[in-house]
Amino acid sequence: MNKAPVLLYLHGVGQGDLAQEWRFQLSQTLADIGYPSLDDVEIIAPKYADAFEEFEVAAELPPLTIAALTKDVARHNRIEFERRISAMEFRLGRHDSGVGGKMPTTVVSLSVELPLFYQARNYLSSEQVRAQVLNRILAQLPEEGELVILGHSLGSVIAADVVRRLPAGLKVAGLVTIGSPLANGSFNVDRLENELHQPPSNMRWWVNFWSGTDPVAAKRGVSGVIPWVLDYRIKTPLIPGTAHSSKHYCADPAVGEAIGFGLFGSRSKEIVVSEKNLSLPLNEAELFVVQALRFAYLISLRLQGEKQQRFNLALRETQARFYQEIMAHNEAENRPIPAEIRHLEFDFADADAIAPTPLPSPYLYKYEAARRFVDLAGLNLLHPFEIEVDDNARLEAMKDLSEESQLGSQFGADVMNSLRKAEDLISSGRKARWLKWGALGFGTAALAAASGGLALAVAPGVAGAAAISSALAGFGPGGLAGGLLTAGTLISAGSGGIAVGVLKSSTTAEEVEALVAQKLAVVILSQTQQLEIDDETWNYFVESERNLRRELTRLENISDEKSPMVAGVKRKLKAVEKALSFMSHQGLEPGIFKELEAANNKPKLKFLSR
């Protein structure tokens, strides 16, 4: 049986809360919210106030014990860490890094020079003092097991410092910092910001709590300098000294929830259930439907009055239609129905029947979610209905979708920002409508996200656009494919992912612009999230440009000078050219330049593609 985690409390300046008010308050908070108290928890609370003075006997800094990770291992570690920190965000609430400000930051910087804070000044400036403090703490820790660390004020800086020096067999089940000044440059001891550019491999998660009335926190969290930390704002009293006290931080239920989860595990099964592998996994088409309906539901929560009523009516009909189509398709294929799809069922013929709320979206790795969420954000969820949604409502809904998918709300914000940037690049200031209602129908977006997922009944040997047409045939006219512009018009399931229908008259210039912008948004999002970018999008644009140029030359030689068809092809071509230009300036061209660079082994350009 695994031993329960030990609680390590690291105090700030002063004598270290000799009355242990933090402990009694935290124990009470845990009991109030349904966790066990601290009565049976092993607590280590080192006192090191005297160690802030330089001793006569020289002390050496304890060695770093975290080995450097290879690129692949580091990437895996970061992905898994983000999954855990996103689950904590889902548990606690929305990440809030604060706004900071010149005045609060200046106050924190100047306070370090005051006599009252000489201990902090000594720790930050003297390696001897740092060594004394760290050695004092490490001497009291076990060699193996798990720790939950609570660091207050300067103790949060010490916590970040000591984590990298723990015994190899000792892991950090969770780090909670309260009232931390780490975001201030004066506290960047031993270049902690640079050393912690990636989560330490021995740490499961780090949550930082800050209060707007706490002068030491300076109206901000620490994610501004350590971006992978989850910041969470709470309220402490208005009086500065009291607002900064560990006792009042520990009185907050959110702080208790984080520490309680680290020590005792989950009080509920909400997150556990969302991570369980169901016996019958969703295929790509079913997953897309579940996520799209959930996204629409999250949007509906942010609407009001008559618009919300119309939106919910359209969503109700959409949910009923897609449930029936998936049921019919799976029955024809003799495929069982996953629980998430069964959950959507209701009697649409009964006007009083309430449509079940779509379940939260399952977890996706970020490189999978990048394409999926961009597609979701850019489609018309309720096709053929068109209901304009406020930008902020769509943004907040996407942040919620990302948060409950354990990707973090910032991922959702980056999705929308990437779409806006791509839209601006492609439209060149011209007001586009595709994010207003969604230029692409549901079926088109589903194919763009996972054409292979819909190809459930493709005949042997069928590929590319023919595979799409074959798969969609199972849904019948006006079914899931009802939102398609033309089957196979905009995308192909072939290995190159090349557009096969940008030349068709049934494909409007606006629809092509929307798809180009969506594909470009995935590139922008991948850069923001530091994800790998393969060559597929570049190849797609190059092939589309080649086809469009050939078609434009053919049309211009024969058609009237002001032909709408010619103007449409020019507009399509311009959209593709802008996308290629952006990727070129970002150093994303594959091919000969990259090969020459590798051959010379002298990097001259920065490439993010593989």
CA–CA gap between residue 379 and residue 515 (Å, rounded):
10
pLDDT greater at residue 345 or residue 602: 345
pLDDT digits (tens, 9 = 90+) for 207-243: 999 988 888 876 778 888 888 899 999 999 888 778 8
Q: How far is CA 5 from CA 37, 43, 172, 193, 344, in A?
A: 14, 9, 9, 27, 41
pLDDT at position 27, please? Answer: 96
The 3-class SS string of 503-548 reads CCCCCCHHHHHHHHHHHHHHHHHHHHCCCCECCHHHHHHHHHHHHH
pLDDT at position 182, please? Answer: 83
CA–CA gap between residue 417 and residue 518 (Å, rounded):
12
Domain ranges of the chain: 6-272, 284-596
Least confident of 134-148, 178-192, 310-324, 468-482: 468-482
pLDDT digits (tens, 9 = 90+) for 401-436: 999 888 889 999 999 999 989 988 888 655 555 455
Mean pLDDT in residue range 272-281: 49
First to last CA, the chain: 45
This prediction's pTM: 0.65
CA–CA gap between residue 299 and residue 397 (Å, rounded):
5
pLDDT digits (tens, 9 = 90+) for 141-186: 999 999 999 999 999 999 999 999 999 999 999 999 998 888 776 6
pLDDT at position 587, please? Answer: 87
pLDDT beyond 50 at 272: no
Give me the CATH topology for the region 6-272. Rossmann fold (3.40.50)
pLDDT digits (tens, 9 = 90+) for 378-407: 878 787 788 888 889 999 999 999 998 888
pLDDT greater at residue 502 or residue 440: 502
Least confident of 74-78, 516-520, 575-579: 74-78
pLDDT beyond 90 at 95: no
pLDDT digits (tens, 9 = 90+) for 35-64: 999 999 999 999 998 888 877 678 889 999
pLDDT at position 480, please? Answer: 40
Q: How far is CA 443 from CA 258, 356, 478, 486, in A?
A: 41, 22, 10, 10
Antiparallel, parallel or unpaired: β 169-178 and 230-234? unpaired
- Which positions ≥6 away from 342 have C-beta within 8 Å? none
pLDDT digits (tens, 9 = 90+) for 332-368: 888 888 999 999 998 876 777 889 999 998 878 888 8
pLDDT at position 506, please? Answer: 63
pLDDT at position 10, please? Answer: 95
pLDDT at position 176, please? Answer: 97
Cα dihedral sign for 248, 249, 250, 252?
positive
